[in-house]
A and B are shown apart, each in its own frame.
Chain A
Amino acid sequence: MSDVQCQLCPKECLIGPGQAGDCRVRINLDGRLRSVVYGFPCAVHIDPVEKKPLFHFLPGTTILSLATVGCNLHCLNCQNWEISQADPQDSTAMACPPEKVVALAGQYNCPSIAYTYTDPVVYYEYTLDTARLARRAGIRSVLVTAGYVNPEPWQRLLEVIDAVTIDLKFMSDELYQTICSATLGPVLAAIEAAKAAGVWVEISNLVIPTLNDRPEDVRQVARWVGDNLGAETPLHFLGFYPRYKMQHLPPASADTLQTARDIAREQGLKSVYIGNVTSPEGQNTYCPSCARLLMERSGFVILRNRLKDGCCPDCGKAVAGVWK
């Protein structure tokens, strides 16, 4: 029996017979790489699309959201560590092949399906097959991911994906390595590739006190987004909450997030949002041209939507996004 090298993500695990890769779900069985979670999600739910977070993609709709166990990152602050860091043999799952997922989306009137909660990169084949089927059925596909994936498989997946929320965790390779057991370069490359492929991209950045909450940290993220993705790319600053192996740090305050938003706007970004804390202004969408209120939100609920065919009703400026 031979070893197998999984070439899906930059870790490129060399997997011995009977062993699993770093993600725990891609296993060498009889010299062949197998995704043991294919068709077996551990979570299937209906969420508001704003929860992903996606604020410029079919706002106000619900999205069928699913995940399997496993992740190729091991973030010390993982909010979903109970499933992302679980071994398949110790977990419960539901039999839900791609056909069933697409049928469920139709049954619950969801115009889109999200591959989320853990990281869809590790259940790549399941995501790919389901997204292909969904596209044929007129249902959109959304990835919520850390973007730690090799270029070739990423490109293939993007062909059937309509939107991505990518978590750009830090602008420091050292922090990526120490906190997430990953590296920065492939993430930036994946984000740029998604943009180049014409997929709708929103960026999230978890603000963690003492790690990446300094003004220069925030400025770096905002500047990179503006320079590489454009000023109208939505950027979500999400508040850290102590979880998993990072319970010694305090939660991010609303003030810290508001400051981050202000800095990002100073850098020229037009759509900067705040999540995980209460901030009415930080959750609303304003016209990038005339700055009038376009969408008023409270949590994941849209209270008012003034967009007319994706344009500001006051100045007529088209707002970047996927609105229907």
Chain B
Amino acid sequence: MNRTQNPELIIQKPEAGIEGEDGFRNYPYSAFCALCFKLSSILHRQTPWASRRQFLGRLTRVAAVACVGGIAMAGRRVLRGAVMADRPDRYPGKVIPLENVGTQAKWSG
């Protein structure tokens, strides 16, 4: 097994201080990006050939799965299907008295 195929070399513990030093602790998205960047840098240093690409490929796949799963769960949580609608409390436009009922409509149909 060469270096690029060894998962232990790819999944490294990040260096300490990523969250604290650069003030990303309260910004999960930025912290996540920083973490990815650090990991990528580390991997690149330790495996200068294909490991970085491999890592980014895996990262992309995991992120895609997480996104799809998250969207599906969110959709399932909020979606309600309905055929029959309730009556309104009031008409949103202007309401006028019945008029011109006895006349033929100018509308088609």
Residues of A within 8 A of B (CB): 2-8, 14, 26, 31-40, 43-48, 51-52, 65, 67, 69, 79-80, 83, 87-96, 104, 108, 114, 116-117, 124-125, 144, 150, 152-153
Contacts and interface: CB of A to CB of B under 8 A. Distances in A.
A2 B78 contact: yes
A316 B52 CA distance: 88
Interface stretch (B18-26, B30-38, B64-72, B92-100): B92-100
B9 to A, nearest CB: 45
Interface of B: 77-88, 91-105, 107-109
A31 B83 CA distance: 14
A45 B105 contact: yes
A24 to B, nearest CB: 10
A46 B100 CA distance: 9
Nearest to A145: B109
A93 to B, nearest CB: 5
A94 B82 contact: no
Given A47-B104, A92-B93, A93-B96, A150 B86 contact: no
B38 to A, nearest CB: 38
Contacts of B83: 6-8, 124, 150, 152-153
Contacts, number: 132
Given A33-B82, A33-B85, A35-B86, A88 B101 contact: no
Given A33-B84, A80-B108, A93-B91, 4 more contacts: A34-B85, A37-B91, A40-B95, A117-B109
B98, B103, B107 — most chain A CB neighbours (10 Å) = B107
Nearest to A9: B83
Contacts of A40: 88, 91, 95
B87 A38 contact: yes
B86 A34 contact: yes
Contacts of B96: 92-94
A157 to B, nearest CB: 11
Nearest to A238: B108
Nearest to B84: A125
Main secondary structure of the interface of B (DSSP, over half): loop
Contacts of A43: 105, 107
- Across the A-B interface, the 8 shortest Cβ-Cβ residue pairs: A45-B105, A79-B108, A35-B85, A2-B78, A89-B92, A33-B82, A33-B85, A117-B107
Given A6-B82, A34-B87, A108 B101 contact: yes
Contacts of A152: 83
A92 B94 contact: yes
24 contacts: A2-B80, A3-B80, A5-B81, A7-B81, A33-B82, A37-B88, A40-B91, A44-B98, A45-B101, A45-B107, A47-B105, A48-B104, A80-B107, A88-B92, A89-B92, A90-B93, A91-B94, A92-B93, A92-B94, A92-B96, A104-B101, A124-B85, A125-B85, A153-B83
B103 A4 contact: no
Contacts of A125: 84-85, 87
Contacts of B107: 43, 45, 67, 79-80, 83, 116-117
Contacts of A93: 91, 93-96
B95 to A, nearest CB: 6
Contacts of A108: 101-102
A183 to B, nearest CB: 19
Contacts of A37: 88, 91
A116 B107 CA distance: 9
Contacts of A46: 101-104
